[in-house]
C-alpha cells in the first residue's frame, strides 16, 4: 500500500480518508489535538452541557453527503426548520432584516426605504468592494445601520476592505416590493439560503465523523513542526518523524508554509498576508430552556461584544440536561485587523453582562456552566490581499507535491460538506500523482479510476 499521510482530522481530513479507503488504502492520520474532529469536535462538560466548536448544523443539499452523514449516525438525526432573528438597538427583527423592517422605529423605516428606492433608480455603478456592493444593493441607510456594522464585528474590518467573491447566497438582495411588504406586514416570508438542517440526535456534531475516522490509523497529540518535501518526511513536536509517498494537509496555510523546508521567502511573505478571524466562544448553561425562539441570532450593535448567539439545546435534547438551556456566543478578532490579547476566559463576564443587557439572560437565571475557548482560525477574511497571496501559496504547494484541502487549506468560506469534498479532491490529487509516477502499489481499480477522472477533467 502506498504510505499516505493526512495532516488534520477535521471534515477535510475525513474526506481524504474516505476517498483513499475507496481505493483500498489505509492512510495514517495526524492531529495536534488530543481529540479528533477539528472544528467539528464536540465537548460535553461535567455539568452535562454539550457544545460544538462553534455553532454547527448540516444544511448540505448534496444527497451523497446527506446520506454519508446519516450513515455515520445510523440515521439518528434531527431535522429542524431553521428560525433566525436579529438584535438591533433593543429591537428583534426577523431574518434577513432587509425583508423584515416591520416594528423598527418609523424614522429608520422611512430612511431605509427612501434610500433603497433612490438606489433602485440609479444607473448601474461599478462595484470595487463589499461596501460598494452593500450601498448599491440596499442604499446608504440600511447598508450603514446593518451589514456594514456587522462586517466590522464579524469580519473585523471595514466592508471597503473586502471583496465580494465570498458572498454566494449569503446576503439576500431584495426587490423594492419585498422591502415594502416586510415593512408593512409582521409576517413577511423568511427568505434564507438555509431552510432546514440536520443535527445528530446524540453526541453533538462530531458524531457525523464516526464513519470516517476509523478508515485511517489515527495519531493524536502529533503537532507537525516541519515537512521536508524532498525527503518526503514529516516531523512532529513530540520528536516522531514519518516518511510518506503522498501527503494531504488541512493545516491552516499561514502555519503550514513556514514549516516547509526550503520554502522561498516570497511564499512565506504571501502566507502572512492571508487573513483569518479568530473567535472566542463563550459557552453558557442555565437552569431554563425557554431562552430563545431562534436557533441563531445576529447582533449588529458594536457595543455588544458578540456577533452571533447559538442555542445548542435547541438542536438536540441530548445537548443539555433536561429542562436546561445553553447559549454559545461568538466574539471575533483577527491577527491582522483586531488582535486578541489575553485569555478566552477574560470574555466570560463581558458576554454575561451583554446577555443581560439585551434581555437574553434574566437576573433570576442560575448560571450552571460558564466556559470559554479560542478558535485561532475561524473565518477566512476575503480582503483585497487574499487572491494574489493565495495564488503564490497554492502554486508553491502544487510544485512541492503537498496536497492542501479544507477551509484553511483551500482558504475559502467553506461549510462542512465542502470541506469534506475538498479532502476527497486532495486525496484524488495524491492518487493522481502516484499514478503519474507509475506507483505499482496502487490497485488496478485505483489506476482505472484515476485515469477516468483525468480523462473526464481533460
Ligand X SMILES: Cc1cc2nc3c(=O)[nH]c(=O)nc-3n(C[C@H](O)[C@H](O)[C@H](O)COP(=O)(O)OP(=O)(O)OC[C@H]3O[C@@H](n4cnc5c(N)ncnc54)[C@H](O)[C@@H]3O)c2cc1C
Report the nearest approach of ligand X to the CB of residue 312 (Å).
11
Q: Does 94 bind ligand X (CB under 6 A)?
A: no
Residue 251 binds ligand X (CB under 6 A)? yes
Closest contact distance (angstroms) between CB of 105 and ligand X is: 31
Residue 414 interacts with ligand X (CB under 6 A)? yes
- Contact predicate 445/23, CB 8 Å: yes
Q: Which of residues 34-63 bind ligand X (CB under 6 A)?
A: 38-40, 54-58
Say whether residue 279 binds ligand X (CB under 6 A): yes
Of the candidate spans 114-122, 146-154, 222-230, 430-438, the one that interacts with ligand X by CB under 6 A turns out to be: 222-230
Choose which of 2, 4, 5, 8 interacts with ligand X (CB under 6 A). 8
Residue (327 or 368) nearer to ligand X, CB: 327
Which residue number, 174 or 252, has a Cβ lying nearer to ligand X?
Answer: 252
Min CB(7)–ligand X separation in Å? 5
Residue 190 lies near ligand X (rule: CB under 6 A): no
Q: Does 10 bind ligand X (CB under 6 A)?
A: yes
In the complex, the smallest distance separating the C-beta of residue 72 from ligand X, rounded to whole angstroms, is 14
Which grid coordinates belong to 304?
455588544
Q: Which is nearer to ligand X, 155 or 407 (CB)?
A: 407
Tell whether residue 13 is a contact of ligand X (CB under 6 A).
Answer: yes
263 near ligand X (CB under 6 A) = no
Smallest gap from Cβ 276 to ligand X, in A, equals 9
Q: How many residues bind ligand X (CB under 6 A)?
A: 37
Q: How far apart are CA 145 and CA 115, in angstroms?
A: 12
Decide: is 149 part of the binding site for ligand X (CB under 6 A): no
Residue with Cβ nearer ligand X (42 or 141):
42
Q: How far is the CB of 348 from ligand X (least distance, A)?
A: 18
378 is an interface residue for ligand X by CB under 6 A? yes
The alpha carbon dihedral of 299, 305, 306, 307 has a sign of positive
Q: Site for ligand X (CB under 6 A): which residue of 250, 271, 283, 334?
A: 250
Identified binder of ligand X from the candidate list 223, 370, 433, 447, rule CB under 6 A: 223
Query: Which cell numbers in the block locate residue 60?
Result: 448540505
Q: Is residue 192 within the footprint of ligand X (CB under 6 A)? A: no
CB of 171 to ligand X, least distance (A): 17
Stretch that binds ligand X, among 141-149, 249-257, 317-325, 341-349 (CB under 6 A): 249-257
Buried b (16+ CB within 10 A) or exposed e, 73-109: beeebeeeebbbbbbbeeebbbbbbbbbbbebeeebb
CB of 178 to ligand X, least distance (A): 26
**Per-residue 3-state assignment (H helix, E strand, C coil) for the chain:** CCCEEEECCCHHHHHHHHHHHCCCCCCEEECCCCCCCHHHCEEECCCCCEEECCCCCECCCCHHHHHHHHHHCCCCEEEEECCEEEEECCECCECCHHHCCCCCCHHHHHHHHHHHHHHHCCCCCCCCCHHHHHHHHHCHHHHHHCHHHHHHHHCCCCHHHECCCCCCCCCCCCCHHHHHHHHHCCCCCCCCCCCEEEEECCCCHHHHHCCCHHHCEEECCCCEEEEECCCCEEEECCCCEEECCEEEECCCHHHHHHHECCCCHHHHHHHHCCCEEEEEEEEEEECCCCCCCCCEEEECCCCCCCCEEECHHHCCHHHCCCCCEEEEEEEEEECCCECCCCCHHHHHHHHHHHHHHCCCCCCCCCEEEEEEEEECCCCECCECCHHHHHHHHHHHHHHHCEEECCHHHHHCCCCHHHHHHHHHHHHHHHHHHHHHCCCCCCCHHHHHHHHHHHHHHC
Of the candidates 63, 50, 58, 100, the one whose C-alpha atom is nearest the C-alpha of residue 80 is 58
Site for ligand X, residues 323 to 352, rule: CB under 6 A? 330
Query: CB under 6 A: which stretch of 147-155, 208-216, 402-410, 449-457 binds ligand X?
Result: 402-410
Could you tell me the smallest distance in angstroms from the CB atom of residue 130 to ligand X? 19
Residue 49 or 116 with smaller CB distance to ligand X: 49
9 vs 141, beta carbon nearer ligand X? 9
Q: Segment 114-133, which members bind ligand X (CB under 6 A)?
A: none
What is the contact surface with ligand X in residues (CB under 6 A)? 7-13, 30-33, 38-40, 54-58, 222-224, 250-251, 255, 279, 330, 375, 378-379, 406-408, 414-416, 419
Amino acid at each position: 500500500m502506498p504510505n499516505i499521510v493526512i495532516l488534520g482530522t477535521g471534515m477535510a481530513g475525513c474526506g481524504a480518508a474516505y476517498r483513499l479507503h475507496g481505493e483500498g488504502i489505509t492512510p495514517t492520520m495526524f492531529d495536534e489535538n488530543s481529540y479528533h474532529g477539528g472544528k467539528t469536535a464536540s465537548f460535553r462538560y461535567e455539568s452535562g452541557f454539550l457544545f460544538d466548536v462553534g455553532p454547527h448544523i448540516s444544511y448540505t443539499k448534496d444527497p451523497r453527503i446527506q446520506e454519508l452523514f446519516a450513515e455515520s449516525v445510523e440515521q439518528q438525526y434531527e431535522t429542524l426548520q431553521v428560525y433566525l432573528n436579529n438584535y438591533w438597538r433593543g429591537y428583534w427583527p426577523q431574518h434577513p432584516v432587509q425583508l423584515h423592517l416591520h416594528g423598527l422605529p418609523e424614522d429608520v423605516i422611512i430612511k431605509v426605504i427612501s434610500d433603497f428606492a433612490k438606489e433602485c433608480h440609479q444607473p448601474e455603478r461599478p462595484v470595487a468592494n463589499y461596501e460598494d456592493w452593500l450601498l448599491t444593493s440596499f442604499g446608504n441607510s440600511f447598508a450603514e445601520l446593518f451589514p456594514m456594522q456587522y462586517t466590522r464585528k464579524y469580519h473585523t474590518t471595514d466592508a471597503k476592505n473586502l471583496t465580494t467573491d465570498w458572498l454566494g447566497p449569503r446576503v439576500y438582495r431584495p426587490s423594492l416590493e419585498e422591502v415594502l411588504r416586510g415593512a408593512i406586514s409582521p409576517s413577511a416570508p423568511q427568505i434564507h439560503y438555509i431552510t432546514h438542517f440536520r443535527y445528530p440526535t446524540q453526541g453533538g456534531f462530531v458524531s457525523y465523523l464516526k464513519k470516517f475516522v476509523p478508515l485511517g490509523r489515527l495519531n493524536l497529540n502529533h503537532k507537525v513542526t516541519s515537512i521536508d518535501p524532498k525527503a518526503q518526511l514529516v516531523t512532529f513536536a513530540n520528536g516522531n518523524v514519518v516518511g510518506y509517498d503522498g501527503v494531504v494537509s488541512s493545516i491552516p496555510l499561514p502555519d503550514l508554509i513556514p514549516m516547509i523546508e526550503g520554502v522561498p521567502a516570497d511564499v512565506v511573505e504571501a502566507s502572512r498576508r492571508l487573513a483569518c478571524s479568530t473567535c472566542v466562544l463563550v459557552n453558557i448553561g442555565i437552569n431554563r430552556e425557554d431562552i430563545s425562539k431562534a436557533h441563531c441570532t445576529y447582533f449588529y450593535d458594536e457595543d455588544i461584544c458578540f456577533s452571533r448567539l447559538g442555542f445548542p439545546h435547541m438542536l438536540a435534547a441530548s445537548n443539555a440536561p433536561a429542562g436546561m438551556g445553553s447559549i454559545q456566543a461568538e466574539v471575533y478578532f483577527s491577527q491582522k485587523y483586531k488582535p486578541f490579547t489575553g485569555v478566552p476566559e477574560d470574555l466570560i463576564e463581558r458576554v454575561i453582562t451583554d446577555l443581560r443587557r439585551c434581555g437574553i439572560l434574566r437576573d433570576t437565571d442560575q448560571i450552571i456552566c460558564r466556559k470559554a475557548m479560542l478558535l485561532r482560525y475561524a473565518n477566512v477574511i476575503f480582503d483585497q490581499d487574499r487572491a494574489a497571496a493565495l495564488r503564490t501559496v497554492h502554486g508553491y504547494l502544487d510544485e512541492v507535491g503537498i496536497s492542501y484541502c479544507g477551509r484553511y487549506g483551500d482558504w475559502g468560506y467553506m461549510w462542512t460538506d465542502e470541506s469534506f469534498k475538498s479532502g476527497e479532491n486532495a486525496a484524488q490529487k495524491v492518487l493522481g500523482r502516484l499514478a503519474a509516477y507509475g506507483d505499482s502499489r496502487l490497485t488496478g481499480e485505483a489506476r482505472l479510476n484515476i485515469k477516468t477522472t483525468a480523462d473526464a477533467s481533460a
